[in-house]
A and B are shown apart, each in its own frame.
Chain A
Amino acid sequence: MSVGVDTKHDSAVAHVTGESIFIDDRPALRGELFVGIVGAPIASGTLLGVDTNQALKHPDCVAVYTAKDLAHKKWGPVMHDQPILVEKEIGHMGEPVALIASKRRESVEAIIKLVKVKTKSTPAIFTIQEAKQKGSILYKAQTPFVQGNFDKAFQNAPLKIRGTFSCGGQEHFYMESQAAVAYPLENGQIEVHSSSQHPSETQRVVAEALGLRLNQVVCIVKRMGGGFGGKESQAAPIAAYAGLVAAKQNRAARCILTKDQDMKMTGKRHPFENEYEVGFDHDGKILALKVMLQSDGGAYLDLSASILERAMFHMDGIYYLENVHIDGVCYKTNNHSNTAFRGFGGPQGTMTMECIMEEIAQVLKKDAAQIRKVNLYQNDKVRTPYGQLVENNMLPAIYQQLIKSSDYKKRLKEITQFNKKRTGIVRGISITGTKFGIAFTARFLNQGNALVNLHLDGTVQVSTGATEMGQGVNTKIQQVVAYDLGLNLNQVQVMPTSTEKNHNTSPTAASSGADINCAAALEASQKIKARLTALAKEIFAGKNPSALEEFQVGEGMLDEKIVFKDGKITDVKTKKSLALLDVIKTAYFNRISMGAYAFFKTKNLGFDKATVQGRAFNYYTQGMAVSEVSIDEYTGEVKVLRSDILMDLGRPLNPGIDRGQVIGAFVQAQGWVTTENLYYDKERHLVSHSPTTYKIPNVQDIPRILKVDFIENNDVKNNVFGSKAVGEPPFLLGSSVWTAVKHALSFRAGEKLVEITSPATSEVVLRELIKLKS
């Protein structure tokens, strides 16, 4: 049994011994070139020229390329609005303007500095408020999500709050910065190895940039050193840079960004400023809610439209809203083009809701958990603002179990008592939730294909469009196929993702990598199994074809009485058994295919943006978390004392890997809401462009006590083996740390409302404390 058990990551041994190969670990070929990117020195303006004279005089500089060397000048995952290299208009600071090719790695930085970029500045827009004033819009939601009658309900509501929830961006900080290496092949072909979540997009952008046909480009992804959404769209141009130099010079070329370059140049999580009006009653029940979600898309569209929409889809959080109006707009600014990041807008929506919950509790001077309980999706109140019903709703059960297991009530009392005394420390506790819709909201992306080859020694190679970035998707695919064919895990090898084996792959994103690709791999595996089942049945029946005949099984058929387990095929009825290896041999000599390709698409999906109706998601992954924090009132420093997390993952495919996803997502979100602060100077250079200045959580920052559990749920029907997706949903639970800070501050607020932005850095917290106390 290999499904539902805690098997080790398929790369674990290679990882711990340092044998895993990442892009820049590949040995350089003879004559290989190193590609450097010259960035724009201004955030907004016009490119007047690129002076390459000095650079070309450098002994290691082979060439400098600009936009005119590209066959196709623009790229973009949705709209082609982003220059691969700037032609004329500069959209943001550090935007790629030119490429240099160096014989030596050591000379890349020196040559970059020798390229002189001449520009003319124009006024820039850096904030949502500036963009709003100037009407600088990238995308506006087609139709707001409306349910009930907001205006009437708000008017009649006894209590009201108007406010704004603002959250900052977030650097992905994948450990492996963007990287690609390209090898020129015969017939003008290019093989590009990329640290990419989206090999097909990378293949497309490389082909377009170089003026090649898609069949001339292969993109291969063995693994990424972290992705988190940052390599969904943004890996493609980096691969195009390597590809361009490789094609022009007919030599291998690699483009490896340093951490500083990567952080300065690439897009991040979208900052949001969400304005809300909420009406509620004395029990804290929300009667009316209106929200305008406003995001900073940066210079280009990238995936910002879908991200804004997902923020709207997740504005409700885990709460039923009877009268609601949700609208959204994404602004165009002169910031790096913001992009996908774990949660994809979901966190910015849901956290707004949790912020509102905390404020309602403060106004009513009630326990915020009670307010949340009143508003939770429950019983027949399961209709979302966009019409989809929350089926198999686990939220009430999760709430009940977690409040108990975290000892919430007792701890809240203790904290309230503790805070009465002035000790220089103030504490807070808060519970928040996630109800994350699983599926790409763009329906066409919910497709995948897989190739499974069963070899004569009984081992299997599986190829899918899934890319491995640490999340363990390959391990899950391995488990599913091994289970299906009754093999040991080490008999199943998941191959590097390659566009020559799998076509039109969707990005490994939206938490759905395992859902789609395990399902496709299972379907392919079952095709082989069906043929072998038919063959085994013939053998069990005593058939023995003569030399002139052979077994004829066609596509065969699965039969639950014929079981593949432990390297054997057994008829459970007759208890007759055959060694799988023997059947494989027989199949080969009888010319029966043991390779299969399968295509999978998620069923029952379809959402109409115009009418805002339909099934946007296949199902919801749900969970809740309770976090407790303490604040040093002298300095504003926040410590996370304890977090309890309870997730519904159906029947997890691999509880060990899923636990790692839950904790990893939670801690990443904790960073987003506390210490991760993007700091720019006046010209909009990112100053916090390395770990010295940009503080992701380290080992001492995680909750002092951290408890993670899964609630039992055997009722998941519409996903592979009754499992649920896990990558993004727990990220939304990091909000509990931020709301706990808000709760702690409320003890020093008197009659005032605590108003903090996210991240709640020491500075934000201290300044709010001073404000509240004055």
Chain B
Amino acid sequence: MRNSIIFQLNQQVYQLSGEQVFMTVADFLRYQAGLTGTKIVCAEGDCGACSILVARFNKGKLTHHRVINSCITFMYLLDGHHIITVEGLKESDELHPVQAAMVNTHGAQCGYCTPGFICALAGVADKAKREKKKLTPVKVKNALTGNLCRCTGYDSIIKAGCKTDLKMTKPLKNKYDTKELVKLLEKNSKKSVEIRYKNKVIFLPTTLAEAVKIKNEHSDLRIISGATDLGVLSNKGKTQLIKLMSLHLIEELYQMKNMKNTILIGAKNSLDEVEKITQKDFPEFSKLLHIFASPQIKNNGTLVGNALNASPIADTIPFLKVSQAQIVLQSVLGERTLNMNDFYLAGYKQLDIKPNEIVTKIILPKTKKSFKLYKISARRDLDISAVTMAVSYQLEKKTISNFAIAFGGVAASVIRLPEIEKMLEGKTFTSSLFKQVAETVSTQLKPLSDVRGSDVYRQLVCKNLVLKFCDEVHAEEGWKRNEVLV
């Protein structure tokens, strides 16, 4: 057992215990380490000013550096990591190529968001260099979805990304000597961590067996994954993080597998990894994950975390429901596997999970069914949805089978519409049929009004999404029609 966390910040190795372990990374950097280049603006992972680059040690090797939001990440989650901040990118007196490019294109105006953009750009440049690819405007934009700038209108920043001299870009992995960190970790990596400060405690077990045991002993323990939601709630005073366990030192929970009939996704696999592994078998889901959130969030957030959050606007749940995904729970008593549709109970955030259980993976069964997923929000990227809709279906010529439909953002939980599903089974796919479905949907759903849209708007959108689905299927199947339904 050890009672400290170990990490390296730019060139310096740290071993921390006590209060600092429980700080957000941004607070630690700014107010403890004196690295004020990292900025805190929104403190909810939505603006990217706090972006930093982190790499995890995995069996003595450093993973690639990925960009994350330091304002909603806690220090204990970076045990075993190497951190690079904006201050750490310069090469003695030479600017990093992305820094040089930003200077030359006027990519910085007021300068407050700039360090975050620099880190995000350094991350994508590192990746492009590694994969021997060019930095195109599309790539650069995708890498910067999680960074807000109010001054530039982004044009000069996109140019900076595209004009980055990749020849001069050195791999981030080789930038710092990490021997001392590796040595320290080798000595300590098998040891689980338990750190207490005042009333707070964090457990970082290194095996699943141990994690399950701890969970069994502490039923009030919360599991913290990427902290992309808990970090926000904690910062905004909406929850207190007292007794926590992170599973990030358990290697087997990172084991994502693409098998013959299923895709297995481990509890610690990030949404970014899930986006990639589902590209071929679940392209619609992969596409949804593309606009799901920023790179910073997707690098830290996990599919299991999103599923367990159980919010009615959690974007993955409608898909997990209509795809008949399964969830695997582990306790000291053994393993349970549940269909997602049974895992979610009626009511706000109600789940079939026992206090001593830990979710270890999600299983996506491969299928011949087709999927269509829709996410509607005020802004296309990096926004919480007003409405989501997921449909799965099979067509034999024009005959419908296995139709499933789920909506998010219209009730206390993500809901399926079993009556409609039953009614459509075996029916012929026609516009008039789906017009009728659309009407039924808009009368059955009773959404609320809030900041993301009024009840009326949500109803209209749900109805129109059904019509859109019908039109898209017509187009894809090459069924000729004069006009779309809207």
Write the residues of chain A forming the contact surface with B, with a CB cutoff of 8 angstroms: 6, 8-9, 11-22, 24-25, 27, 105, 109, 172-177, 223-228, 258-260, 422-424, 469-472, 633-637, 639, 656-657, 659-660, 663-668, 675, 677, 679, 687-688, 690-693, 695-702, 706, 708, 761-763, 766-767, 770
Contacts and interface: CB of A to CB of B under 8 A. Distances in A.
Given A635-B376, A698-B381, A175 B110 contact: yes
Contacts of B382: 698
Contact of B153 (A228, A663, A693): A663
Contact of B379 (A177, A633, A695): A695
Which 5 residue pairs are nearest across A and B when measured between Cβ atoms? A18-B37, A470-B110, A225-B112, A667-B153, A15-B111
Interface in B30-46: 30-31, 34-39, 41-44, 46
18 contacts: A11-B111, A16-B115, A17-B95, A25-B36, A173-B148, A176-B110, A226-B110, A469-B110, A472-B109, A635-B464, A660-B106, A667-B154, A690-B46, A691-B47, A692-B46, A698-B379, A701-B379, A706-B155
B456 interface: yes
Interface in B74-118: 85-87, 89-90, 95, 98-99, 102-104, 106-115, 118
B465 interface: yes
B473 interface: no
B483 A422 contact: yes
A15 B108 contact: yes
Given A469-B110, A664-B152, A675 B379 contact: yes
B141 A696 contact: no
Interface string B294-315: 0000000000000000000000
B38 A18 contact: yes
Nearest to A11: B111
Interface of B is mostly: loop
Contact of A663 (B145, B152, B454): B152
Given A22-B112, A699-B145, 15 more contacts: A15-B111, A17-B37, A27-B34, A173-B148, A175-B47, A260-B236, A424-B471, A635-B465, A664-B109, A666-B153, A667-B154, A692-B232, A699-B157, A762-B378, A767-B460
Interface of A is mostly: loop
Contacts of B149: 175, 699
A129 to B, nearest CB: 19
B332 to A, nearest CB: 37
Contact of A766 (B38, B112, B461): B461
Contact of B378 (A13, A18, A677): A677
Contact of A634 (B99, B380, B464): B464
A9 B457 CA distance: 45
B31 A105 contact: yes
Of A6, A18, A469, the most chain B CB neighbours within 10 A belong to A18
Contact of B150 (A8, A24, A226, A639): A226
Given A8-B104, A17-B95, A699 B451 contact: no
B334 interface: no
A228 B150 contact: yes
Contact of A8 (B103, B145, B460, B464): B103
A699 B457 CA distance: 26
B85 A16 contact: no
A13 B85 CA distance: 16
Contacts of A27: 34
Given A175-B49, A259-B41, A13 B103 contact: yes
B262 interface: no
Nearest to A17: B90
A695 B109 contact: no
A257 B193 CA distance: 36
A666 B95 CA distance: 30
Nearest to B143: A699
A424 B474 CA distance: 13
Contact of A20 (B111, B378, B384): B111
Contacts of A668: 150, 153
Contact of A664 (B49, B151, B383, B456): B151
B360 interface: no
A423 B484 contact: yes
Of A637, A695, A702, the most chain B CB neighbours within 10 A belong to A695
A673 to B, nearest CB: 13
Nearest to A25: B36
A691 B150 CA distance: 12
B202 interface: no
A175 B112 contact: yes
Interface string B230-261: 00100011000000000000000000000000
A677 to B, nearest CB: 7
Interface string B460-483: 110011011001000000000001
A18 B379 contact: no
Contacts of B158: 699
Nearest to A689: B451
Contact of B108 (A12, A109, A633): A12
A639 B112 CA distance: 28
Interface of B: 30-31, 34-39, 41-44, 46-47, 49, 85-87, 89-90, 95, 98-99, 102-104, 106-115, 118, 141, 144-145, 147-158, 232, 236-237, 376, 378-384, 450-454, 456-457, 460-461, 464-465, 467-468, 471, 483-484, 486
B153 to A, nearest CB: 3
A637 B118 CA distance: 31
B483 A693 contact: no
A763 B98 CA distance: 39
Of A27, A227, A699, A708, the most chain B CB neighbours within 10 A belong to A699
A224 B151 CA distance: 12
Of A470, A633, A675, A706, the most chain B CB neighbours within 10 A belong to A470
Contacts of A25: 30, 36
Contacts of B151: 226, 470, 660, 664
A671 B236 CA distance: 26
A762 B44 contact: no
A702 B464 contact: no
B47 A16 contact: no
Contact of B109 (A18, A19, A660, A701): A660
B114 A16 contact: yes
B148 A698 contact: yes
A235 to B, nearest CB: 14
B99 A700 contact: no
B146 to A, nearest CB: 8
B243 to A, nearest CB: 19
A663 B112 contact: no
A470 B108 CA distance: 8
Contacts of B42: 259, 690-692
A174 B109 contact: no
Nearest to A228: B150
Nearest to A663: B153
B20 to A, nearest CB: 12
A637 B380 contact: yes
B484 A424 contact: yes
Contacts of A6: 106
Contacts of A177: 41
A652 B156 CA distance: 18
B42 to A, nearest CB: 5
A16 B38 CA distance: 11
B468 A634 contact: yes
Nearest to A6: B106
B109 A679 contact: no
A9 B106 CA distance: 7
B168 to A, nearest CB: 15
A260 to B, nearest CB: 7
B194 to A, nearest CB: 23
A27 B30 CA distance: 9
A24 B102 CA distance: 24
Contact of B113 (A13, A175, A258, A422): A175
B141 to A, nearest CB: 5
B103 A19 contact: no
Contact of B110 (A224, A259, A687, A767): A224
B53 to A, nearest CB: 13
